[in-house]
């Protein structure tokens, strides 16, 4: 048995060893420039300090620091001073954004009994910052509209479209009701959006202990999970259907004199009032529901029978907000490039938090600061990056990516011209390297991951990740792919952090990296996400913080120093083919499901199995979808794969023949920088033109989760069959433009003079 396991691992180890061979030059470097780069990277790797990260975290999380708070500004000035101390050319760029804070929050049950919700997270005696109540933002959902409603209550599971289909089968309508949804399984803003679409007049969102409470682990302060009265704050701005950033200045920078919409005209505010609550406050409300039992997989871990409602339970929800304009402070710091100052490698992480925010975002803000300190040190020692490095500590990420989106919108033209890559993080803990972003950088980031040592096992982080993925794989086919494919897959980006404007709106190649997967956490967006919690339950000795600094630093250095930018297209073409296969399966499954259900209706199945004591409504028959025409996409995929191979072969041959001329390199780098932008269209996605990228977007009905080839995928999911066909044609055209660019780069390499 043991022997078999070892034999099974052999191909993996061989791949890893051959890829690690030290004499192999880094991708995009000659033998000589690679050796120099390796020396500088080795010097860099020794610099980030776990102890300093702990110090920075203690300082940055000492007080609540949400947008508009005194300590948010104080932190911004402290971060600015640090960058300057380390020799960076740094300044603060300020934007003026709409940031609502609670004026009034009332939640009470008025029938059949009276109960008033606490809506208050109590301090914990061992935790020294949990009692800063004067500075803590109360628990609320930002960009909920003001509202006052008294209505029957209905439990809607996670509040997703398919949950409402089940409610319909149970004969339950939410029209005129207040819904209560569980946190999780989608981005939170989807819940009030779908509730409003079904006629609800208010929305409560609670944290069920099954998802991040005692079902998972001990609760705080005995363990890392959410206690009875812990509440998840968070934004419910409808950014997937419109755009993130300041709701009053969509598409433009929210400078002091920008032209603003009136608050009532802002398209991204919710349509109904929303309030997040703890399971302590939710339990009496849920216990008062009657009506049908909730389907088995809707039920959580509270010791109550979960009914759907409605029934006698009637609740009163009232929320009112201060609709203020507040400043956000982005710290922008530069090291100018020595050879190509007009090519920018950009790295960012936000500094604002909902409350004290140790895990989110300070755990990765401190890794970014240690990268910055180390780069300052290297510059003193004589390191001169070829390209300009720009570090950004964003403000206002939590309300909805305010600081990064406004900066990207304000500087859109320069960024599209000069930005090579945007590299993001937003929190870090213990575990495995999580690699997300543009698959044109998949080979590159795999290369970096070979070089970084896991602090616990001392394995290269890429090797540890590969073995973890084999452990987690669902099928023998998946395991085989993970063992045999040279590169681990980089996952597509949806949204939920500051990379959104860069990739989705501007079409700049993007990476988002962190370590996670080994530490339970149930304090997200609560007052308990603080220094005490982090240093007891997360990356307590900051060794994964150091590993993330080492990883990010290598990514930034190598992109800033490469002779030829390390973009690569065979992994990208392989990924596009995989997405196309998924889309075909989705369309087929959708068609089969409708055919089957129609047949069951005709057979009288739903009438026959209906239990008159627990009646259910038969689903309606639906039009059978037409077959879609995937041929344009298939043809584009094939052509793209051929061009990708051609570029790869031309690059290897040209590189083997000796260094390329400066003029050729400059030209190729220009084309490679443009490659992500080629995946966008000026018109953007159907009904949401701010989203220009045709391969990646957040889901209109999932939020943070990525929808790949979103125009086609969402048309299928939403049964817009004509649109699916026309989007296939648009995506094929974009891929063909990309192919043309790759071909022209390959041609240039084939003709290159050395």
Min separation Cβ 512 and Zn ion, Å: 11
DSSP 688: B
Binding range to Zn ion, per CB under 5 A, among 3-11, 82-90, 423-431, 669-677: 423-431
Judged by beta carbon, residue 427 or residue 553, the one nearer Zn ion is 427
Alpha helices in 323-441 (DSSP H): 363-380, 397-400, 402-410, 412-418
Closest CB 206 distance from Zn ion, rounded Å:
21
Q: Are strands 115-116 and 234-235 parallel, antiparallel or unpaired?
A: unpaired
Q: Which stretch binds Zn ion (CB under 5 A): 184-192, 353-361, 446-454, 638-646?
A: 353-361
- Give min distance, CB of 497 to Zn ion, in A: 6
**Residue of 237, 235, 243, 257 whose CA lies nearest to 94:** 257
The nearer residue to Zn ion, 360 or 561, going by C-beta atoms, is 360
Site membership for Zn ion, residue 426 (CB under 5 A): yes
What CA–CA distance (Å, rounded) separates 4 from 380?
52
Smallest gap from Cβ 352 to Zn ion, in A, equals 8
Stretch that binds Zn ion, among 74-82, 183-191, 372-380, 419-427 (CB under 5 A): 419-427
Distance CA(345)–CA(112), nearest Å, equals 60
Contact 388/345 with Cβ under 8 angstroms? yes
Q: Using CB under 5 A, which of the segments 29-37, 153-161, 218-226, 359-367 binds Zn ion?
A: 359-367
Report H helices in 675-709: none
Alpha helices in 46-109, H assignment, sequence order: 50-60, 70-85
Cα torsion 338, 341, 346, 351: sign: positive
Minimum CB–partner distance for residue 88 and Zn ion (Å): 23
Q: Does 454 bind Zn ion (CB under 5 A)?
A: no
Helix H or strand E encompassing 235: strand 234-235
Peptide bond preceding 221: is omega within 30 degrees of 0, i.e. cis? Answer: yes
- SS3 call for 8: helix
Q: Residues 188-207 vs Zn ion: string with x where CB under 5 A?
A: --------------------
Which of these segments, 93-101, 157-165, 425-433, 695-703, binds Zn ion (CB under 5 A)?
Answer: 425-433
Residues 529-568 that bind Zn ion (CB under 5 A): none
Binds Zn ion (CB under 5 A): choice among 213, 361, 522, 545: 361
- Cα–Cα dist 39/670, whole Å: 27
* For Zn ion, the closer CB: 309 or 545: 545
Query: Whole-number minimum distance, CB 363 to Zn ion, in Å?
Result: 10
Query: What's the rounded Cα separation, in Å, for the pair 258 and 369?
Result: 32
Instruction: Please state, in angstroms and rounded to a whole number, the distance separating the CA atoms of residues 511 and 496.
Output: 14
Strands (E), 518-573: none
Is 512 near Zn ion (CB under 5 A)? no
Q: At what angle do helices 461-472 and 442-451 cross, to 10 degrees?
A: 110
Looking at beta carbons only, is 127 or 360 nearer to Zn ion?
360
Round to whole Å and give the CA distance between 552 and 558.
10
Shorter beta-carbon distance to Zn ion: residue 426 or 717: 426
Q: Which residue lies nearer to Zn ion by CB, 163 or 426?
A: 426
Helix (H) or strand (E) holding 483: helix 476-484
280 versus 361: smaller Cβ distance to Zn ion:
361
Nearer to Zn ion, 326 or 525 (CB): 525
Number of residues in contact with Zn ion, rule: CB under 5 A? Answer: 3
Q: Which is nearer to Zn ion, 166 or 359 (CB)?
A: 359
Applying CB under 5 A, which of residues 37, 360, 406, 409 lies at the interface with Zn ion? Answer: 360
Contact positions toward Zn ion, by CB under 5 A?
360-361, 426
């Amino acid at each position: 048995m043991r022997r078999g396991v070892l034999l099974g691992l052999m191909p993996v180890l061989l791949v890893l060893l051959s890829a690690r061979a030290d004499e192999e030059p880094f991708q995009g470097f000659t033998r000589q420039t690679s050796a120099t780069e390796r020396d500088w990277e080795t010097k860099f790797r020794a610099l980030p300090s776990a102890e300093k990260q702990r110090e920075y975290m203690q300082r940055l999380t000492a007080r609540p620091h949400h947008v508009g708070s005194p300590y948010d500004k104080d932190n911004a000035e402290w971060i600015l001073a640090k960058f300057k101390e380390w020799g960076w050319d740094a300044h603060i760029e300020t934007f003026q954004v709409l940031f609502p804070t609670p004026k009034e929050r009332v939640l009470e049950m008025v029938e059949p009994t009276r109960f008033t919700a606490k809506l208050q997270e109590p301090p914990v005696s061992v935790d020294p910052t949990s009692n800063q109540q004067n500075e803590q933002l109360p628990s609320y959902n930002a960009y909920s509209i003001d509202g006052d409603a008294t209505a029957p209550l209905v439990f809607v599971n996670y509040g997703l479209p398919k949950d409402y289909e089940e409610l319909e089968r149970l004969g339950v309508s939410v029209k005129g009701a207040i819904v209560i949804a569980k946190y999780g399984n989608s981005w939170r803003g989807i819940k009030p959006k779908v509730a409003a679409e079904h006629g609800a007049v208010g929305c409560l969102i609670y944290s069920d202990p099954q998802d991040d409470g005692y079902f998972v682990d001990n609760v705080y302060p005995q363990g890392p999970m959410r206690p009875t009265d812990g509440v998840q704050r968070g934004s419910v701005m409808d950014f997937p259907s419109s755009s993130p950033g300041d709701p009053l200045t969509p598409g433009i920078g929210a400078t002091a004199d920008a032209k603003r919409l009136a608050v009532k005209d802002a398209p991204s505010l919710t349509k109904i009032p929303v309030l997040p609550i703890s399971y302590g406050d939710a339990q009496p409300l849920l216990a008062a529901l009657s009506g049908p039992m909730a389907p088995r997989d809707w039920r959580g871990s509270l010791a109550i029978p979960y009914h759907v409602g409605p029934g006698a339970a009637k609740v009163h929800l009232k929320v009112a907000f201060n609709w203020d304009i507040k400043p956000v402070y982005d710290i922008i710091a530069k090291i100018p490039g020595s050879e190509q100052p007009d090519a920018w490698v950009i790295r960012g992480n936000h500094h604002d938090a909902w409350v004290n925010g140790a895990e989110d975002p300070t755990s990765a803000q401190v890794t970014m600061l240690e990268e910055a300190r180390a780069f300052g040190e290297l510059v003193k020692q004589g390191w001169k990056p070829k390209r300009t490095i720009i570090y950004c500590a964003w403000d206002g990420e939590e309300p909805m990516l305010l600081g990064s989106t406004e900066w990207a919108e304000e500087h859109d033209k320069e960024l599209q011209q000069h930005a090579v890559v945007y590299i993001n993080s937003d929190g870090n803990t213990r575990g495995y390297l999580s690699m997300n972003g543009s698959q044109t950088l998949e080979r590159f980031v795999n290369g970096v991951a070979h070089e970084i040592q896991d602090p616990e096992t001392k394995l290269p982080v890429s090797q540890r990740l590969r073995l973890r993925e084999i452990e987690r794989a669902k099928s023998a086919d998946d395991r085989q792919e993970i063992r045999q494919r040279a590169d681990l897959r980089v996952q597509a980006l949806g949204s939920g952090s500051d990379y959104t404007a860069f990739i989705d709106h501007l079409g700049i190649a993007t990476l988002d990296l962190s370590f996670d997967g080994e530490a339970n956490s149930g304090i997200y967006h609560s007052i308990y996400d603080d220094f005490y919690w982090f240093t007891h339950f997360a990356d307590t000795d900051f060794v994964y913080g150091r590993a993330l600094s080492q990883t990010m630093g290598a990514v930034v250095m190598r992109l800033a120093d490469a002779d030829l930018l390390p973009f690569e297209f065979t992994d990208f073409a392989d990924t596009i083919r995989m997405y196309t296969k998924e889309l075909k399966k989705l369309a087929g499954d959708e068609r089969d499901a409708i055919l089957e259900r129609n047949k069951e209706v005709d057979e009288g199945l739903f009438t026959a199995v209906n239990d008159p004591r627990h009646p259910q409504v038969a689903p309606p028959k639906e039009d059978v979808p037409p077959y879609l025409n995937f041929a344009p996409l298939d043809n584009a995929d094939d052509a793209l794969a051929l061009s990708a191979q051609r570029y790869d072969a031309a690059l290897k041959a040209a590189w083997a023949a000796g260094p390329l001329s400066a003029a050729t390199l400059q030209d190729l780098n220009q084309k490679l920088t443009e490659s992500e932008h080629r995946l966008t269209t000026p018109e953007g996605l159907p009904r949401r033109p701010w989203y220009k990228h045709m391969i990646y977007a957040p889901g209109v009905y999932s939020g943070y989760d990525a929808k790949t080839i979103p125009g086609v995928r969402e048309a299928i999911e939403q049964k817009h069959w004509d649109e699916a066909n026309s989007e296939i044609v648009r995506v094929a055209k974009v891929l063909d433009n990309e192919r043309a660019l790759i071909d022209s780069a390959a041609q240039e390499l084939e003709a290159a003079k050395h």
